[in-house]
Structure 1
Amino acid sequence: MYYTSLMTITKYNLQDYDFVGLSHRETKPRTRIRLLILAHLKDGKTQEQTANSLKTSPSTVKLTYKRFKKNGISGLDDLPKKGANFKLPKDQHEKFKKYILERQKKREGGRLTGYEIRDIIKDNWNVTYSLAGVYRLLHYLGLSCISSRSKHPKQDEEAQENFKKKLLS
């Protein structure tokens, strides 16, 4: 038997989609460009003509077409980025997050600063972070550095309510 390696079955066809319409509804700029690339190819333009029209490289056009043929419209989304791994081991992330949240609850006034959190990581996990690395870790764990205005430990709730009543009357 003779099989040709050039024969490939593709399940996604350019003629099956309205790429211009999809691009109008797309919110991500890179995906919108990829949809427009496919719209140009669907209209019969060459890869080079498409690249010139959209001010992009021919390799981008080629890669976009390949990704569409392989995965369809879902193949046009950005691929996950690979960044540097965190120095704090992944199995310690949940423990660290709980520790920070508990420490913040016990705190009287103010919030934990990046510098304090950096020292906590160094003291408890023996891992050194830059300040930017601390903020990146906090963001990854879903923790925000922005907090509501803190209450002074000696604040008098009753005096504040009386003040508000006077102001409104």
Structure 2
Amino acid sequence: MSKRQEAFKSDFMDNISIKTKEMLHQSGWNPDTSIDITPTVKFLEAMGYEVFDAVLETLSLFGGREVKFAHPDGSWEAFHFSPEETVGDYYEKEDFAEFEERVKEPLIVVGEAYRGHFILLISKSGKVFGKNGASLYKFGDSIYEALETLCLFRKPEEVP
């Protein structure tokens, strides 16, 4: 792990709630696990993405990871950070151009949330969005805020 990734991990651990950390740990996540994101980065680059730091940092901590946890209503909720699984052979980079125009910066697909109903995207500035059909929602200004939104069942903000 690079010094930049180590700094991100340290900052990350300082910026998420104990409840969110517990939920991540219960799903088997360990901040000390090293994840080889090379195949994922190559996959995204082959799609035409220029992979920026916010995506590299997120995938270095969560790449390939699925997080499952109980919703307060008793059902199970899940999200994952696997662009290959999300995109499959169905989506192309161009399918997300409309959303880039709405947020006025590049977006990269990083996973899915709400049992596959939302495609998770990270912007160049590090904001995390979820796409559902033609609707776009902001989950947070950073991966920290997005995980809090997902794990603590906060309502994401709709983007016009």
Fold match, TM over 0.5? no
Q: Which protein has greater RCO, CA pairs closer than 8 Å, 6+ apart? A: 2
Give the structure with higher Rg (CA). 1
What TM-score do the two structures reach when normalised by structure 1?
Answer: 0.21
What TM-score do the two structures reach when normalised by structure 2?
Answer: 0.22
More strand by share: 2
More helix by share: 1
